[in-house]
Amino acid sequence: MVKIIIGVFQKKEDVTRFHKYRMLDITSLTKVGPFFSKNQAHSWMKELHAQIENSEVAYIPESDDDTLKWYGFTFEE
C-alpha cells in the first residue's frame, strides 16, 4: 500500500534534501502554494493528513527568513 508523505517548506533545497534522505521518487512529488502564511500552510498539512488514512507528516525545519513564502508538498512512498 502506498503511503503519502505530507509536509510544508519554504526553501526548495529542503524538499530536495528530504526526498534524497528518504530515497523517495522525485516524480511522485506534488507541490502546492504559495500559502498566505505559516498557519495556513500548517492547516493545509493537518487537514490533508486527517483525510488520507495512510499518510505521514514530514517536519522540515523552518527558515529564519520571514520573507520566504510557504509551500506544501506530498510524496508517495
Give the H or E element holding residue 35: strand 30-35
- Residue 65 has a pLDDT of 84
Q: Tens digits of per-residue pLDDT, 13-56? A: 999 999 899 998 989 999 999 999 999 999 999 999 999 999 99
pTM of the model: 0.89
CB atoms near residue 75 (< 10 Å): 22
- Residue 52 has a pLDDT of 97
Q: 46: closest CA among 56, 34, 32? A: 56
Categorize the per-residue pLDDT at 66 as very low, low, confident or very high, splitting at 50, 70 and 90: confident
Full DSSP string of 4-27: EEEEEES-HHHHHHHHHHHT--GG
